[in-house]
Structure 1
Amino acid sequence: MDTVLGIDLPTWWFLLIGALISGYGILDGFDLGAGAVHLFFRKEESRRIALNAIGPVWDGNEVWLVIGAGSLFAAFPFVYGTILSVFYLPFMLFLVAIIFRAISIEFRSKEEMKWWRKMWDVSFCLSSITISLLLGLILGNLIQGIPLNANHEFVGRLRDFFNPYALLIAVTVLSLFMMHGAMYLIMKTEDRIFTRLTIIANNTSKFFILCFMATSLATLIYVPHMTAIFKDHPALFVLPVAAVLIVLNIRRSIEKRQYQRGFVSSAVTTALLLILFAMGLYPNLVLSNIDPRGHISIYQAASSEGSLRTMLLIAFIGMPLVATYTIFMFWTFRGKVKLEEHSY
């Protein structure tokens, strides 16, 4: 297997896809969180301000998901096909929710009727919650493994996805996004909605910490393979310790009203949790919970070496461009939100 800088090509793509998913989790995470807390705002002006806080960036943030999915298809087509076929219904619901979230943002201000705006407010909130829960549900099942036989064929049932551990991960992801989104909105607002958001951020951070503790305990007890790497490489234990400290720093930042620092901490928490997930998974991409022969590793699923090398070169050029575009967007629309004639 060819290497680049001493790392084999499938591992490079494993790292690259992980970076893209982390970028999506951080960026679209606060969009989804802002939508999940949307109905906590009672006044029309507050809801419009909240929408316009994410209005210029939400669709650009979803680019990271598109690139991540495309990279998975290009580098590991067998895994792409397996995951889509196994999670067919969750992914269909996910796409429907994405569509409704987009049209809720765009359609809400097209008419002045209260029932019209309330309908799209509810749609925006429910679709954001649904997307967050589905992402967590899929993640939870990938962590503990899915029922694949030795031929990598799915032999489970739909209800197998709704197991207690996966549901716990789903709620944890939702709580993380709600906290992340609340702190982003705090940085973009002022006056009455700012005061309201400080209460929401305080409550959602407590909710997340409870979910984080429950998830950590459940993982240690029921999903021991995710912690096996720390027994083999004790030095890596610094990462879960760092995750705990950063989660505690979120609470400290909120209590000290240092919301920008708290937002950065929640972003780092998102990235660290996904890194821990990847470490527990590597070198596999999909785990079977009924037959170890059903595991799918990065080496089994990888495209040809020529394809991986060529696409890696393109990725090394394209990813900085996407990152630059993202930074430019946030810099352009920095500062507090002010409602104007053409605002949502």
Structure 2
Amino acid sequence: MSVLTPPSVRGASAPRPGGTQGEHLKRKRRLFWPFMIPTVALYVIFLVLPTIATVYYSLTTWAGAGDDPNFVGLDQYAALWGNDSFQYSFRNTLIYVFVGGIGTFVLAFLFTMVLRDMKGGKLVRAILFFPNIVAPVALGMFLGFVFKYQPGKQGLANFFLESLGATSAKFLDPANVTWVVTASIMWASSGFYITILMAAVDRIPPYLYEDAEIAGASPWQKFRNVTLPLTWDVVGVAGVLWTINALKIFELVFVLAGPGTYSPPNSAWTLGIFVFDRSFGSNGTPDFGAASACAVAMIVLVSVLVVMLRRLMRRDAIQF
């Protein structure tokens, strides 16, 4: 009479190929540092050490090669805050972060609501994303032609204004260029955030929208009660991306506000342009101490804004 051994007992007695689970974990641990050390080394060399050097030089006055750094402590920051160019740069950067961010996400949400039920939505999404693959310098040159003010040879925007009987406008004057750049950034960036939000919307089960429609919910109610809560984590990440990118705006302002010149007028500067100006020196004498102080201010500003945004956007995850 034969005795059948249960499969679990047979499996328990059979040796595992490659050794036990403990041996497998030991091999993984042995591979950890050989892969980790090069990554940590590159991170320290190209990020940590330059950041520490920037903080040090922000406490000095230094004109670069051939000059010895002169330690002045926090005087560099006091002089920076009292500088008119820095105040313009700080104000304009905040305009791009908050006004441009609100406008960009309003556009992104509006298009998301429309494209979700629209035939050919993926094609439209790809078209809206197109400005993001164009280099900012090329985009700035194109928009410079669009907003050009030259009687008898107007840009596209003023051509339409004159065709409608309106007066042509000096869009790229120092008093107006910040708002023109803000609108341009909203137009150029919205496609990127539409793509991110639509990817989050695509994972929402369709039956939730069907239930809301049966209940008589309006498009706004479906967005507020279904779309927004279920994409909130993605919106938070997109907000962080926008904040970091907006603080680094440089090329578009540089090309639009100062074509053919060394740099734009001071009233149109951003923090990035301030660092550029102090690093290369419009009068041939760089001030790396002021440039480093402004760079540290940018690091502090982005850190504060990101932490505030993450706390503001913190919510319990919704399972669906």
Same fold? TM cut 0.5: no
TM-score relative to the length of structure 2: 0.31
Greater CA radius of gyration, 1 or 2?
A: 2
TM-score relative to the length of structure 1: 0.29
